[in-house]
C-alpha cells in the first residue's frame, strides 16, 4: 500500500534529494561488503591459473592463490568465499568418483583456506559437472540424467566437503530430493552445524556460458540441462521448489541467475522470509565488465547492479565483483 502524502506544494519530494546528507538519511536500502560471497575458481592443472578470457579480471587460482584471495576477503570485510574447481580432465569419469575423494582439489582448498583464514566462511558447490566426463550435473545413463542415483552421489560429495571443513554447502544440481537426503546424512554423521544454501530456483539459462569456460565444462557438455534446471518462463514453480527445499532442511535459498530474475528474488523473500540469496552469474559479470572496460558505462554501475538485489529483498549476493565492490564502498 502506497503511503498517503499531501498534495503539491505541501509535498515536494525533491526536498529530501537536495543534499547528499539528506539523500543518505532517507536511503531505504544499502549495500555492504558483508552482503557478498566471492566465487573463486581453483585449479591445480599446470598452466590453467590464468585470466579467463570470457571473464576479464577473473582468474583461476592455485590452492595457494585461493588462500591469498581468502586473506584479501578478510581484509576487505567480505564474509565468505565460494569454491569452484577446474578439474584435471584425466580425473573426469562417467561415475564421477573424484567428486567425493577427500583429497580432491576442492577439499584440499577448503582445508588450506580454513587453516589460514578460519574466520572466512567457505561455501562449496555440490554438483557432479566438474567431475563428469559428459559435463552434466548428474549421472547419465543412455542419455538420461538419473535422479536418485545422482542424489546418492551428491550425499557422498556433501559429507566429504563437510569433513574437509566447509561451512556452507551449495547444492546446485537441481535433482529432486537432494536437500532432504543431504540434511539427513549431515545430521547422522555429526555435521549438524553445517549450513545448506540451496540453489532452489536455478534456471536453464544462457547467462552461464563464461562459467562453463571457467571450470572447463564447455566442451564436455553433451546436450543441455533443461531436464533438471528450470524453464525461464516459470515463476510459480520457483516458489514450489523453494518451499520444498526449506521443508527438507535448507537453511538459505538462492535464485540463479540474478538480475534477469529479480522478480523471483522479491517474491521468494516476500513469500517465505527465509535468508534469500542471488547469484550474479558469469554472463551478467561479463556484460557489465565489458561495458565498463569499453567506456560505455562508468564503474559505479557495478554498485547499482548490486543495490538492485538488496532492493529486491536479497540478504546477500554471490558476485565476481565482490573485491571491487568492497574497495569502492570503503573509499566512498
Active site residues: 202, 256
Q: Distance between terminal CA atoms of the chain?
A: 34
Distance CA 86, CA 318 (A): 18
Which three cell numbers mark 122?
A: 567457505
With cell 519530494, the residue in question is: 13
Q: In whole angstroms, give the CA distance from residue 253 to residue 33.
A: 20
Instruction: Calculate the dihedral angle through the C-alpha atoms of 307, 29, 168, 330, rounding to the nearest 10 degrees.
Output: 70
Three-state SS across 116-143? HCCCCEEEEEECCHHHECCCCCCCEECC
Return all residues near 70 (Cβ < 8 A) that are at least 6 apart. Answer: 40, 81, 113, 116, 117, 120, 122
In degrees, to the nearest 5, what angle opens at C-alpha 291 toward C-alphas 285 and 297? 115
Residue 278's region, left for phi above 0, alpha for psi from -120 to 50, else beta, is: beta
Query: Alpha-carbon distance 312 to 261, whole Å?
Result: 10
Q: How open is the CA angle 287-293-296, to the nearest 5 degrees?
A: 75
Amino acid at each position: 500500500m502506497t503511503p498517503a502524502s499531501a498534495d503539491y506544494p505541501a509535498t515536494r519530494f525533491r526536498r529530501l534529494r537536495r543534499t547528499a546528507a539528506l539523500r543518505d538519511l532517507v536511503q531505504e536500502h544499502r549495500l555492504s561488503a558483508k552482503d557478498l560471497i566471492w566465487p573463486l575458481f581453483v585449479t591445480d592443472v599446470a598452466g590453467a591459473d590464468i585470466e579467463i578470457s570470457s571473464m576479464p579480471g577473473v582468474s583461476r587460482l592455485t590452492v595457494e592463490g585461493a588462500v591469498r584471495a581468502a586473506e584479501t576477503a578478510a581484509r576487505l570485510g567480505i564474509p565468505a568465499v565460494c569454491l569452484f574447481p577446474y578439474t584435471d580432465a584425466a580425473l573426469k569419469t562417467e561415475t564421477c568418483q573424484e567428486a567425493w575423494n577427500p583429497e580432491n582439489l576442492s577439499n584440499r582448498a577448503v582445508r588450506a583456506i580454513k587453516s589460514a583464514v578460519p574466520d572466512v566462511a567457505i561455501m562449496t558447490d555440490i554438483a557432479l559437472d566438474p567431475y563428469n566426463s559428459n559435463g552434466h550435473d548428474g549421472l547419465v545413463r543412455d542419455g538420461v540424467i538419473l535422479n536418485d542415483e545422482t542424489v546418492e552421489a551428491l550425499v557422498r560429495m556433501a559429507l566429504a566437503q563437510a569433513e574437509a571443513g566447509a561451512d556452507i554447502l551449495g547444492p546446485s544440481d537441481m535433482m529432486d530430493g537432494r536437500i532432504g537426503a543431504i540434511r539427513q546424512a549431515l545430521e547422522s554423521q555429526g555435521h549438524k552445524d553445517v549450513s545448506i544454501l540451496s540453489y532452489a530456483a536455478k534456471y536453464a539459462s544462457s547467462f552461464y556460458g563464461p562459467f562453463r569456460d571457467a571450470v572447463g565444462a564447455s566442451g564436455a557438455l553433451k546436450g543441455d540441462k533443461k531436464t533438471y534446471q528450470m524453464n525461464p518462463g516459470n515463476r510459480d514453480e520457483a516458489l514450489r521448489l523453494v518451499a520444498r527445499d526449506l521443508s527438507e532442511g535448507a537453511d538459505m535459498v538462492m535464485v540463479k541467475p540474478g538480475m534477469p530474475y529479480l522478480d523471483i528474488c522479491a517474491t521468494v523473500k516476500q513469500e517465505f522470509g527465509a535468508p534469500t540469496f542471488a547469484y550474479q552469474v558469469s554472463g551478467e559479470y561479463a556484460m557489465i565488465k565489458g561495458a565498463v572496460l569499453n567506456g560505455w558505462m562508468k564503474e559505479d554501475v557495478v554498485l547499482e547492479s548490486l543495490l538492485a538485489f538488496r532492493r529486491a529483498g536479497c540478504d546477500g549476493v554471490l558476485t565476481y565483483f565482490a573485491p571491487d565492490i568492497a574497495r569502492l564502498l570503503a573509499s566512498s
